[in-house]
Structure 1
Amino acid sequence: MNLHRKLLARAAEGRPVRVAQIGAGKFGSMFLHQARRTAGLHVAGIADLSVPRARAALARIHWPEGAYDAPGLDAAIATGGTHLTEDAMALIADPRIEVVLECTGDPAAGLRHARAAIAHGKHVVMVNVEADVLAGPLLAREAAAAGVVYSMAYGDQPALVCEMVDTLRAGGFTVIAAGKGTKYLPEFHASTPATVWGFYGLSEEQARAGGMNPQMFNSFLDGTKSGIEMAAIANATGLAPPEDGLAFPPAGTSELPTILRPHNEGGILPRKGMVEVVSSVRRDGETIPDNLRWGVYAVFEGETEYARRCFTEYGVATDPSGRYAALWRPYHFIGLELGVSVASAALRGEPTGCGTEWRGDVVAVAKRALKVGEVLDGEGGACVWGKCIPAARSRALDALPIGLAHGIRLVRDVAEGAIVTAADAPPDPASDPVRIRSEMCRIFSG
C-alpha cells in the first residue's frame, strides 16, 4: 500500500526508477501514456524494430514531440527525456537502467531480451506472456539466482488473478478456482485470420482502418490467448489446468461460486484448485447480463460454519450452500496499470506474479486436417490454436508448444483436433528458443 509513497521519495531524491521498454505496441503504448504522469518513473529509452512506428505511437498517446528526441541515453538521462532506438541490447546493457519491460509479444525475442537483462542485473517485467509460458519458470529461477526480479505484468489478467489468489491465501482461505472471462463459443477454435473479423462484427476495411492485426485478434478469439494466460497463472499459483483443456463454461458473476465448485458438489470442476475461463455468452450466443468478459475472478471456500455465517452477514456472493464464495474484478486496465509492476520490482524487490513451477503448458492443436509439407503459421494463424493442459501431459506427449509452432514444416499428417507433437513438426534443435525450452523441460521435469 505504499508504492506511490516510495515513488515520490525517489522523485524527491532526483533518482527516478529508470526504465527501458522494448516494443511500442498497444500494451506498451498504454504504459507509456501513464508513465509520463507517474512521479518517480523515467522511461529513459524505448527500443522498437521501427523507430518511425514508435514515434507514431508516442504522438498518438499525446507525448510532446520534444520528449522523445534525445540523441542518446546520456542525453535522455540528463534531460529527463527518452531515447528511441532499434538497439534493444544497448539499452539493456546500460548500467543506469533498472527495469526492462519486454513488450514485443514475440516468444523468441522475449526469451532473448529477458536473459540478457538478467545477465546485466536488471529487473524484468515480462508483458510477453507467450515467452513466459514457453520458459518463464526457468527465467524466474535465473533471475532469483542473479538477485533480480522477474515479474508478470500488472494490468494484464494473469497478474491480477495472481494478486487475488495471493490475497485470499494470505487471509487463510483455500482457493477453489481462479481465472478470467472472455467471449467464447466452440466454433471460435476454427477461426483464422481470414474469418476473424466476421466474429467481431467488423469488415476488413474497418479493421484495417483501426490498425488491427488479424492474427493477434484471432489469438484472442480462438482460445489461444486464454490458454496462455491460464498456463501462466497455473505456473505462478500452483492451481492446476484441466487435463484436456479449458471448458469455458458460461457464467455470470452471480453464478461463479455455483458453477466453479467440485463436480461432486454440483459444479464443473474435476477437483478443487483449478484454473478456468468463463464465457460471457451462453452456447446459443445469448449474452449473460452480469458477464465477466473483461474481468478476473477467484472462487474460494468458507471451511467452517463461522466463516460461512460471516459470508452471509456481510453479503458475500456464495453458492446456495453458502460454502463457496467468489471475488471478481469486472475489468482490467491493461498497460495503464503496468507501472505497479515496475515500482514493485524496483522498490520492493517483489514480482506482481511469477512462475515458480512448470504446471501448465499450451500445446498446438490442429484447426483442420493438416498435411505433410504444410508450414505452421503460429499463434492466431490458420493452422493451429493453443490448448492449456497440464505440463506433465505435454511432456508425456512430447507436444509442440504454441510458442514454437511458427515456420515449422509438418513431416506427418495431423488430424483435425489432434495435438501436434514434436515428431509431427520437428522444431530446430539449434534455435535459441528451442534450446531454452529444452533446458526448462530438463530442469523442471523432476
Structure 2
Amino acid sequence: MFVYQELSARVAAERPVRVGLIGAGKFGSMFLSQVPTTPGLTVSAIADLRPDNARKACAEVGWTEDLAGGVAFTDDAMAMMARDDVDVVVEATGNPVAGLVHAREAIRQGRHVVMVNVEADVLAGALLAEQARAAGVVYSMAYGDQPALTCEMVEWARSCGFRVVAAGKGTKYLPGYHGSTPDTVWDHYGLTPEQAADAGMNAQMFNSFLDGTKSALEMAAIANATGLTPPSDGLLFPPAGMDDLAHVLRPVEDGGQLAGKGMVEVVSSLERDGRPVFRDLRWGVYVVIEAPNPYAAACFRQYGMNTDASGRYSAMYKPFHLIGLELNVSILSAALLGKPTGSTLSFDADVAATAKRDLAIGERLDGEGGSTVWGKLLPAKTSLARGALPIGLAHGVTLKNRIAAGQIVTWDDVDIDEATDAVSIRREMEQRFG
C-alpha cells in the first residue's frame, strides 16, 4: 500500500488528514506517539471518559504543550464526531457496547471509521461495514493489530494465485488458561499484582489475552473479513513455531491438524507441557499457502521457503506487530485512498460466552477477561442455532439459569434489555446476515 506520496501532496497543499480519537488508552497512546513525526496528519479532538488522562497520555508520549494546545479534549464522543474538523474517527475504547454506538454515529456523520475495537466489530461489524459502504465512507480494521495484518497476508497470497490453507496469529496458550481470572492472571505472566499495577496494566484486559477470548475475537474478525472458515468447536491452539507452520497447519488428511483447507487458527508459543516452542510466533501473524502446481512447489524449494515434507505447503509470517505505532496506515488509506485495511464482509464467525466455572442463578457476568466467562470461537450458523450469547454482550447481565463449567451461555439464560442500542444493532445484524 503506497500512501506516502498522497500524504506528501496533502502536506504541500496544507490540507492535513484530521483525526478524532475515541479512547486514549494503550493503543490510542501508541498512535498519538507517531503524530508529531507524521507531517500531514493532525489530531483535532480526543474523546475520553477522563479528558485529563488523555492530556496526560499526550504528554507522556512526547507531545509539546503547543501541539496539545491545538486539540479539543472532551468526554463527549458523540459531539466530537459532529465537528467539522474530523475526517477519520478512530474507535479505540475496547468497549463493544460503546463501540457500536460510536461507529454508527460516525457513519451517520459521514466520517471514515477505523475500528480498533475488535470486540464491537465481531458483535455487529457486518452491518456497520454495509452501512458505511452505503454512506460512501470507509469502515476499516486497524493496521498494526493482528487481524488487519493477517488479512493483508491473505490478500497477498490470493493476489499471487496461491490457495490459503490457514491464516492467523500466535499467542501464549495452555488449556488451563480458559479458567484464568483477573485474580490469577499475573501468575501466568510472571508478575506480582504490585508490578502490574506500577506498569499500569489492567488485569481484566490482560486476562482476555490469556484466557482465549481475544484470540477468538481476532480470528472471528479475520474469518468475517476474508471468508476463511472458523473451526467447528473452538480454536485448537496447536503448538507451532515459525519453521513448523506449514507442517502443523495443513489438513489432517495430509498429516496436519486442520479439519480442512481455508481455516483460521491460532498457534501457541508453549508446548502442552509448558516448554517454550522453538522460534515461536507469539507476537506475530502468518498465512499457510499451497502451491497450485509442481512448478510453483519447486520454486518454494529453490527460493528457500520453509515447506512441509511434500514441498506443497509453505508459510509466510511476520514475527511481530506494533499495534498503535502502525495505525497511521489505516487512517491514511481511508482518508487518501478511500480503502480499508481489511473490513468485515460477512457474518461467518461468532464468539460465544462460555462458563469458566459452574455459575449460579443470580450471578452477574463480568464479560471479556473477567472471572465468569471466556469467549469461544464458533461458526456463526452454529452460534445462532444454539442461541449463544455473544461475549460482547456478556457484561453486567444476570443469569436466570444455572450454567455448568464449559457450557455456552445463551440469550435465554440471561436477563438482558433488548431495547438497548447495542442489543438492537446486534439483532439487526443477525436478521440481515444470519
Q: What is the TM-score with the length of structure 1 in the denominator?
A: 0.96
2:214 is the counterpart of 1:225? yes
Match for 1:156 among 138, 145, 149?
145
Distance (whole Å) between structure 2 residues aligned to residue 298 and residue 277 of structure 1: 11
Distance (whole Å) between structure 2 residues aligned to residue 36 and residue 188 of structure 1: 40
Residue 423 of structure 1 aligns to a residue whose secondary structure is helix
For the 8 Å contact 2:246–2:288, the answer to whether it is kept is: yes
Distance (whole Å) between structure 2 residues aligned to residue 95 and residue 46 of structure 1: 14
Distance (whole Å) between structure 1 residues aligned to residue 424 and residue 2 of structure 2: 40
For the 8 Å contact 2:86–2:111, the answer to whether it is kept is: yes
What is the CA distance between 1:289 and its match in structure 2?
2.2
Read off the aligned partner of 1:68 and give its amino acid letter: A
Tell me whether 55-64 or 354-363 shows the greater mean CA deviation.
55-64
Read off the aligned partner of 1:255 and give its amino acid letter: D
Distance (whole Å) between structure 1 residues aligned to residue 184 and residue 62 of structure 2: 34
What is the CA distance between 1:303 and its match in structure 2?
2.0
Distance (whole Å) between structure 2 residues aligned to residue 42 and residue 55 of structure 1: 15
Distance (whole Å) between structure 2 residues aligned to residue 91 and residue 14 of structure 1: 23
Distance (whole Å) between structure 2 residues aligned to residue 65 and residue 366 of structure 1: 48
Match for 1:328 among 317, 321, 333?
317
Residue 411 of structure 2 aligns to a residue whose secondary structure is coil
What is the CA distance between 1:66 and its match in structure 2?
2.7
Read off the aligned partner of 1:104 and give its amino acid letter: T
What is the CA distance between 1:7 and its match in structure 2?
0.6
Per-residue deviation, residues 217-247 of structure 1 (Å, max 9, x unmatched): 1000000000000000000000011010000
Could you tell me which runs of 5 or more consecutive residues in structure 2 were left unpaired when the two chains were aligned: none
Read off the aligned partner of 2:292 and give its amino acid letter: E
Residue 231 of structure 2 aligns to a residue whose secondary structure is coil
Distance (whole Å) between structure 2 residues aligned to residue 93 and residue 253 of structure 1: 46
Match for 2:399 among 386, 410, 424?
410
Correspondence for 1:282:
271
Distance (whole Å) between structure 2 residues aligned to residue 172 and residue 186 of structure 1: 36
Identity, % of aligned positions: 61
For the 8 Å contact 2:307–2:314, the answer to whether it is kept is: yes
Correspondence for 2:227:
238
Aligned-residue CA RMSD in angstroms?
Answer: 0.7
Match for 2:284 among 273, 278, 295?
295
Correspondence for 1:72:
none
Q: What are the equivalent positions in structure 2 for 1:334-353 lying under 5 Å apart?
A: 334-353=323-342
Distance (whole Å) between structure 1 residues aligned to residue 392 and residue 432 of structure 2: 19
Distance (whole Å) between structure 2 residues aligned to residue 311 and residue 35 of structure 1: 40
Residue 300 of structure 1 aligns to a residue whose secondary structure is strand
2:56 is the counterpart of 1:67? no
Residue 37 of structure 2 aligns to a residue whose secondary structure is coil
Read off the aligned partner of 1:331 and give its amino acid letter: F
For the 8 Å contact 1:118–1:148, the answer to whether it is kept is: yes
Correspondence for 1:180:
169
Match for 2:256 among 251, 267, 286?
267
Distance (whole Å) between structure 2 residues aligned to residue 67 and residue 6 of structure 1: 23
For the 8 Å contact 2:44–2:71, the answer to whether it is kept is: yes
For the 8 Å contact 2:44–2:85, the answer to whether it is kept is: no
What is the CA distance between 1:95 and its match in structure 2?
2.7
Distance (whole Å) between structure 2 residues aligned to residue 170 and residue 369 of structure 1: 47
For the 8 Å contact 1:125–1:150, the answer to whether it is kept is: yes
Read off the aligned partner of 1:11 and give its amino acid letter: V
What is the CA distance between 1:12 and its match in structure 2?
0.8
Read off the aligned partner of 1:184 and give its amino acid letter: Y
2:355 is the counterpart of 1:366? yes
What is the CA distance between 1:13 and its match in structure 2?
0.3
For the 8 Å contact 1:68–1:84, the answer to whether it is kept is: no
What number of residue pairs does the alignment pair up? 434
Correspondence for 2:22:
22
What is the CA distance between 1:65 and its match in structure 2?
2.1
Read off the aligned partner of 1:17 and give its amino acid letter: V
Tell me whether 213-222 or 55-64 shows the greater mean CA deviation.
55-64
Read off the aligned partner of 1:265 and give its amino acid letter: D
What is the CA distance between 1:2 and its match in structure 2?
2.5
Per-residue deviation, residues 93-147 of structure 1 (Å, max 9, x unmatched): 1233110000111111111111011001110000000000000010000000000
Correspondence for 2:9:
9
Read off the aligned partner of 1:52 and give its amino acid letter: D
Read off the aligned partner of 1:196 and give its amino acid letter: V
Distance (whole Å) between structure 1 residues aligned to residue 2 and residue 358 of structure 2: 54
User: Which stretches of structure 1, 4 residues or more, deviate above 6 A after TM superposition?
Assistant: none
Read off the aligned partner of 1:89 and give its amino acid letter: M
Match for 2:112 among 112, 123, 135?
123
Distance (whole Å) between structure 2 residues aligned to residue 162 and residue 168 of structure 1: 10
Distance (whole Å) between structure 2 residues aligned to residue 275 and residue 39 of structure 1: 37
